[in-house]
């Protein structure tokens, strides 16, 4: 699975921002046809994204296109315009049912077959950002073409009538539900956008909290957010060294017939070892260790 510590959006009709994005070494670039694009620019955005996919060098950055919500009336033209240019994945916002993912997956499968591309090579990520989406997470997360669940805090708050706050307690249940379902179905979990894009200090705090909750990455909206967010979702040298010590000392104790033991004043047993293994997996996915 592609590493998606930072997933950068830009309006799909903005050629300059797409050209900027490919210079940033960001994990994922998501060209948006939904709410980042004005109503009277949808057609132009589709054509601009198609051109970018065909002509621009994305390097190691993943190429994603976000279509409008299924049922909006725009989604069919959106997906049909960009698919022939072979994006790495399609992002579907405001997902509420499994059937909506099946609709997109069938169109993608037809494109894969007719172009001779590997089956299931074009992945789907879904935005879960409404009350219906949250209560249907169990069916939504089960689709085999999915790589990840994306939590949209602003849309979710608007949907339930909550007022957003820095501490984000008003979205905590939904945010936790997304990360829990992602883990249950072995999917990536991508945290909410921090919209105050000039406030790096609080961006770092929110990103660290998302990482601590178990999210594997975060949505971003500005170049200044790439570095801090990719760092927050990459285990530090200190984390990696400690995780390696936990795994090594655990194996030594197991060999001696001891399940629980002490390391630096803390009790270590199986769950802590599993957590250490996750840290090492994430470090490896980020190209470290
Ligand atoms: N992707 C790529 N480049 C971006 C970018 C983005 N998301 N946001 C800003 N940039 C570029 C600007 O074009 C500018 O480039 P330049 O120096 O070559 O002129 C540079 O980064 C600095 O931008 P800045 O002037 O600080 O911001 P702005 O006023 O141009 O844009 C926003 C502010 C919020 C409008 C812009 O960041 C944006 O459009 N973000 C994405 C919005 C979006 O897609 N929303 C839907 C999903 S939530
Ligand atoms: Mg949105």
Tell me: the pLDDT tens digits for 160-185? 999 999 999 999 999 999 999 999 99
The answer to whether residues 58 and 91 touch, using CB atoms and an 8 Å cutoff, is no
Please give the average per-residue pLDDT across 208-235, as a whole number.
97
How distant, in Å, are the alpha carbons of 49, 55, 59, 80, 186 from that of 84? 11, 13, 19, 7, 29
Q: Using a 6 Å cutoff on CB, does residue 123 contact ligand 1?
A: no
Q: What superfamily would CATH give domain 6-232?
A: Phosphoenolpyruvate-binding domains (3.20.20.60)
What would the two tokens of residue 104 be?
């997109």
Nearest atom in ligand 1 to the alpha carbon of residue 32 is: 44
* pLDDT score of 118 more than 90: yes
pTM for this structure?
0.96
For the CA of 66, the nearest atom of ligand 1: 47
Contact 140, 126 (CB under 8 A): yes
| Residues assigned a catalytic role | 269
Q: Name, in order, each residue with C-beta under 8 angstroms of 94's C-beta and a sequence gap of 6 or more.
A: 69, 127, 129, 130, 133, 152, 155
Question: Is residue 23's pLDDT more than 80?
Answer: yes
Length of the chain: 289
Per-residue pLDDT for 36 more than 70?
yes
pLDDT at 286 over 90: no
How far apart are the C-alpha atoms of 71 and 69, rounded to whole Å? 6
Strands 261-263, 266-268: pairing kind: antiparallel
Question: Confidence class of residue 218 from pLDDT cuts 50, 70 and 90?
Answer: very high
Percent of the chain at pLDDT > 90 equals: 98
The residues spanned by each domain of the chain are 6-232, 237-285
Distance CA 269, CA 180 (A): 22
Residue nearest atom 21 of ligand 1, based on CA coordinates:
223
266 three-state secondary structure = strand
Structural contact between residues 232 and 207, judged by C-beta atoms closer than 8 angstroms: yes
Residue with CA closest to ligand 1 atom 3:
17
Ligand at minimal distance from the CA of 68 is 2
Atom of ligand 1 nearest to the CA of 18: 2
Could you tell me the pLDDT band of residue 1, with boundaries at 50, 70 and 90? confident
Residue 227 near ligand 1, beta carbon < 6 Å:
no
Nearest ligand to the CA atom of 12: 1
The residues near 274 (Cβ < 8 Å, ≥ 6 apart) are none
Q: What is the pLDDT at residue 125?
A: 98
CA 10, CA 92: separation in Å to the nearest integer? 15
Would the CA dihedral through 195, 33, 27, 118 be positive or negative? Answer: positive
Helix, strand, or coil (residue 175): helix
How many C-alpha atoms does 35 have within 13 Å on its Cβ side? 9
Mean pLDDT of 12-27: 98
| Ligand 1 and 273: CB distance under 6 A | no
221 C-alpha to ligand 1 centroid (Å): 7
Q: Which residues contact 87 (CB under 8 A, 6 or more apart)?
A: 53, 63, 64, 65, 122
* Ligand 1 atom 17, closest CA: 20
pLDDT band at 147 (very low <50, low <70, confident <90, very high): very high
Decide: 184 and 207 in contact? Cβ < 8 Å: no
* Rg, C-alpha atoms of the chain: 20
Cα-flanking dihedrals φ and ψ of residue 4, to 5°?
-130, 65
What is the rounded average pLDDT of the residues 19-23?
98
Query: What is the mean pLDDT of the segment spanning 118-128?
Result: 98
Dihedral angle sign, alpha carbons of residues 282, 286, 287, 289: negative
Distance CA 32, CA 253 (A): 52
What is the distance between the alpha carbons of residues 74 and 68, in angstroms, rounded to a whole number?
A: 6
Ligand 1 contact, 209 CB (< 6 A): no
């Amino acid at each position: 699975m592609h590493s998606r510590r930072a997933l950068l959006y830009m309006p799909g009709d903005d050629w300059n921002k797409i050209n900027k994005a490919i210079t940033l070494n960001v994990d994922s670039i998501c060209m948006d046809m939904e709410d980042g694009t004005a109503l009277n620019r949808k057609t132009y955005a589709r054509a601009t994204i198609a051109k970018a996919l065909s002509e621009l060098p994305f390097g190691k950055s993943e190429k994603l296109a976000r279509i409008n919500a299924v049922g909006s009336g725009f989604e069919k033209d959106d997906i049909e315009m960009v698919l022939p240019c072979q994006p790495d994945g399609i992002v579907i916002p405001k997902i509420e049912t499994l059937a909506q993912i099946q609709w997109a997956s069938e169109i993608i499968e037809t494109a894969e077959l007719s172009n001779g591309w590997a089956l299931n090579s074009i992945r789907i990520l879904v935005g879960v950002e409404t009350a219906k989406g949250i209560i249907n997470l169990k069916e939504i997360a089960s689709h085999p073409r999915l790589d990840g669940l994306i939590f949209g805090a602003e849309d979710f708050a608007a949907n339930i009538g909550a007022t957003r706050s820095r501490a984000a307690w008003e979205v905590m249940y939904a945010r936790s539900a997304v990360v829990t379902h992602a883990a249950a179905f072995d999917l990536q979990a991508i945290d909410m956008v921090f919209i105050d894009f000039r406030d790096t200090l609080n961006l770092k705090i929110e990103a660290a909290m998302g990482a601590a909750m178990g999210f594997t990455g975060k949505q971003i909206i500005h170049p200044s957010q790439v570095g801090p967010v990719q760092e927050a979702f990459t285990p530090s040298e200190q984390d990696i060294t400690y995780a390696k010590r936990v795994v090594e000392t655990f194996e030594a104790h197991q060999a001696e017939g001891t399940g629980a033991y002490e390391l630096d004043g803390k009790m270590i047993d199986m769950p802590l070892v599993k957590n250490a293994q996750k840290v090492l997996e994430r470090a490896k996915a980020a190209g470290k260790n």
